[in-house]
Amino acid sequence: MTHTPAFHEIADRVHLLRHPVLDVNVTLITAPGAALLVDTLSTDTQARELAGAIRRITRDPLTIVNTHHHFDHCFGNATLAGPATPIWAHEAAARELRDNAPRLQQHWYDEWLPTDPALATGLAAVTVRVPDHLVHTEASIDLAGRPITLHHLGRGHTAGDLVLTVPDARLLLAGDLVEQGAPPSYGTDAYPLEWPATVAALLRLLPPDGLVVPGHGAPVDHAFVTAQHRQLTELGTLIRQGHATGATPEDVAARSPFGPAASLVAVRRGYTALTGQS
C-alpha cells in the first residue's frame, strides 16, 4: 500500500511536508486561486505521492520554485508541472540542470545504488525539467496578492541557492543553506569559505521571532540559525588556518564542529579554492 505523506500547516496558509526519504522538506503556500510549491522531491513516484498530498490542500494552479539543483529538490518538476507551469530557480541551478543532467543523474545513481537501489533507479528514470523563470539576485512573486520574494544571497551549499521570504507569515525558506537534524551537507559543489557570509545575509532577512524551514529536518528559529552560522564560520576559519600552516585536510576535518566525516570534503574544497584552482 502506498503511503502519501501529508502536509501540516505551520503558519498562515503555509503547509510543510517532510518526506521520509532524506527527511527533505516541501512547502506549499496558498492564496485565493493560486499556490506556490517550493521543491518537488526526488523521483516520479515521490512526485506523484506529493501531487496527491497537494490535492488534499488545494487544486489551484501551481507556481514552482526549486531552491537549488540537487535531485531531492527538483527531480519531481516534470511530474508536478503542467505545460504552462512556471518553475523558478537561480540561473546557476537552471544551468546545471540544462547542461549537466545526464552526468548528474549518473553520478547520483552510482552514489545511491549501494545503499538505496530503489532511489537510485528512480533517479535514473527521471526526465529532468529545467526551470524556465530565472533569478539573478532577487525576484518577486505576487501570489494572488500575497508577496513572496526569492533571494540569491551568495554561494554556499551550491552556487545557485535560493532563499524565499514570506513577510505576512514571518517565514523564511532556507533550502539547504540551513540543515536541522544533520550537519550541513558539503558536497563537491559546495563553497565552504563563502557559506558563512551567505547565511549571515540570510539572518539579516529573518525577523527575531521568524520561523525558518530548512532544506531537511524540522523548522527552526533565529537562535538555531545563528548557532549554525557560528559553526559554519568556525569551520571556515579552521580551513584558512590549516591551509596557511600546511595542515592536512584530515587534521582540519578532525577539529570541525560538524565532525570529520561531514567535513572532509569541505576542507578539501576550501583548500582548492585557497590555492586558486577554482
Query: Looking at residue 119, what is its pLDDT?
Result: 98
Domains and CATH numbers, the chain: 8-218 (3.60.15.10)
Contacts 24+ apart (CB under 8 A), 107-114: 108/71
What average pLDDT values come out for the chain (278 residues) when binned by 10 residues? 79 98 98 98 98 98 98 98 98 98 98 98 98 98 98 98 98 98 97 98 97 98 98 98 98 98 98 86
Query: Looking at residue 277, what is its pLDDT?
Result: 67
Query: Looking at residue 236, what is its pLDDT?
Result: 98
pTM: 0.96
Query: Looking at residue 1, what is its pLDDT?
Result: 39
Query: Looking at residue 203, what is its pLDDT?
Result: 98
